[in-house]
Structure 1
Amino acid sequence: MAIPSKYALITGATSGIGYELAKLFAKDGYSIVIVARYQHELDTTSQALQTLGAPKIITLASDLFDPKAAFDVYKEVKANGIDIDILVNDAGQGLYGEFIETNIQRELDIIQLNIASLVVLTKQFLIDMVYRGKGRILNLASIAGKLPGPLQSVYHGTKAFVHSFTEAIREEVKDKGVTITSLLPGATDTDFFNKAEMTDSKIVQEGELADAEKVAKDGYEALMAGKDMVISGFKNKVQVAISNITPDNKVAAQMHKQQEPAQQTGL
């Protein structure tokens, strides 16, 4: 008799940390449901993951900026008779610039993606996991959620929500066989900064970006160990520790300097 596949569902799985996490699940023999906006990127990712040992890969093209999309993802998974053993909420975006100058509709879309869609998917699949008495969830927060972020105010705010939300519901279900883990990376070498229109910022131009593969490994190991959270990277751990004993206004000023545009030098 064939052993049923274990399924992991990963949003934002076609690039960056989400893709690196998908590779780790594939290598460990999980069947994977990968969710992203564009079918051609999903197809390319699916082909790559098949070579790593995933028994089955299901692609779901879904625009999680749409308030209905997360509900539809859950419905489609259930319609296929799949039980999700592990949920990874990786999809997220930011927007660079002073709040009084940035586009409010874009920011509302980011709140929808980073918060509302994550909450919908977490609730729907968590209910199923609690009913079965087992399951794991990994939510991509960020050290941004621990630090006020001038020039990325909405993004930092959404990640503060994700981390606080994750810690709260973890406590609620701690005796129900389900673990929920918050992954807090720092600035990482992904397409995030391009999408956020902040490639000219000091944090990108002058900083040392973390490797997405290393961040994914930290998150994967913490998830499988059932930990409540993991801050990826020693320097990020130090930065968060220092910020915890520094007045918020001073932390905000320091972050402002880190994220302001780098000096452009002409010829």
Structure 2
Amino acid sequence: MTNIALITGASSGIGMEFARYHAAKGGDVVLTARSADKLANLAAELEAAHGIKAHVFAADLGRAEGAAQLIQQIADAGLSIDILINNAGFGGRGAFVERPLEDELEMIDLNVKALVVLCHYFGAGMAERGNGRILNVGSTAGFMPGPLQATYFATKAFVKSFSQALDHELRPQGVTVTLLAPGYVVTGFAERAGLEGTKLVSSGGRSAASAAQHGYDAMMRGTLVTVNEGLLGIAVNWVIPLLPRRMVMGMIERMQRKS
């Protein structure tokens, strides 16, 4: 039986740590992101450290045909994916109508469309074989609306809903789907999203390695939804839903304002 994990957004942050963790357990990896050089360096590291096979397919999943091209490359290589980790994604801070529309649409294409395409193709193959695991990286942002990151929060709400429904459909066929919903994690996300200098970032976050390990272990247990911080999990599941909606949105907006 093979043990190949496809990891998107694998060139840095949580995606890189997923690859390291899976390889340390003896599993082969298929690494994809936009940066071919970073992927090649990671592949060499993993093969040398763990004696596994690392396949590299550079792809821009935010482009219209990016996911389809990646699927074709994997098929041409004759690889069968046992674990799909949809990690690629980005955010962007600012009032929605003041942000470039093309940036918002690219965010939707990467955070939602590419994830759906990959789940559809590889999920079908897993269901046909009768086994497989999918881990979709969402966010605690998906549990509430997010003024000043309206589109990002909405994409993660989609991932949260979609992942749970997909698990319900696929579990009888031997395939599990897990949603990892981390709080703030120290990666390059904040810089790209323009969140540096906000209360969200200044309060600190968990490491990418700890978030990846938490999500991966939950996936292997078949957990449906997991938050990587216990108290934060209680807050988003049991406290925030009971608060007035406008109060919640005010709190989120303040956390994302520049100090």
Same fold at TM > 0.5: yes
Structure 1 partner of 2:128 = 131
Output the CA distance in 1 between the equivalents of 2:159 and 2:194: 22
Candidates 181, 185, 199, aligned match of 1:184: 181
Residue identity in the other structure for 1:47: A
Structure 1 partner of 2:200 = 203
3-state DSSP of counterpart to 1:120: helix
Q: How far does residue 52 in structure 1 lie from its aligned partner after superposition?
A: 3.2
Question: Following superposition of structure 1 onto structure 2, how do residues 1-267 of structure 1 map, counting pairs within 5 Å?
Answer: 5-205=2-202, 207-240=203-236, 241-262=238-259
**TM-score of the two chains, using structure 1 as the length reference:** 0.94
Structure 2 partner of 1:265 = none
Output the CA distance in 2 between the equivalents of 1:174 and 1:16: 29
Q: Is the 8 A contact 2:135 2:179 kept in 1?
A: yes
Query: How many residues are matched?
Result: 258
Output one character per residue of 1:165-207: Cα deviation in whole Å (capped at 9) or x when no partner.
00011111121000000000011100001111221222112x1
3-state DSSP of counterpart to 1:111: helix
3-state DSSP of counterpart to 1:244: helix
Give the direction of change, closer, same or farther, for the CA distance of 1:141–1:54 in structure 2 (3 Å limit): farther
3-state DSSP of counterpart to 1:94: coil
Range that drifts further, 20-29 or 237-246 = 237-246
**Deviating 4+ runs (over 2 angstroms):** none
Output the CA distance in 1 between the equivalents of 2:106 and 2:21: 30
Q: How far does residue 247 in structure 1 lie from its aligned partner after superposition?
A: 2.1
Q: Is the 8 A contact 1:23 1:52 kept in 2?
A: no
Q: How far does residue 98 in structure 1 lie from its aligned partner after superposition?
A: 0.9
Output the CA distance in 2 between the equivalents of 1:236 and 1:37: 32
Give the direction of change, closer, same or farther, for the CA distance of 1:136–1:204 in structure 2 (3 Å limit): same
3-state DSSP of counterpart to 1:10: strand
Residue identity in the other structure for 2:253: H
Q: How far does residue 54 in structure 1 lie from its aligned partner after superposition?
A: 4.8
Give the direction of change, closer, same or farther, for the CA distance of 1:149–1:51 in structure 2 (3 Å limit): same
Output the CA distance in 2 between the equivalents of 1:121 and 1:94: 20
RMSD: 1.1
Output the CA distance in 2 between the equivalents of 1:17 and 1:239: 23
Residue identity in the other structure for 2:35: Y
Range that drifts further, 40-49 or 20-29 = 40-49
Query: Which of the two has greater helix per residue?
Result: 2
Q: Is the 8 A contact 1:7 1:32 kept in 2?
A: yes
Q: Is the 8 A contact 1:27 1:54 kept in 2?
A: no
Output the CA distance in 1 between the equivalents of 2:166 and 2:216: 19
Q: Structure 1 unaligned runs (5+)?
A: 263-267
Output one character per residue of 1:238-264: Cα deviation in whole Å (capped at 9) or x when no partner.
3202112112221111111111111xx
- Percent identity (aligned): 37
Residue identity in the other structure for 2:118: L
Q: Is the 8 A contact 1:166 1:182 kept in 2?
A: yes
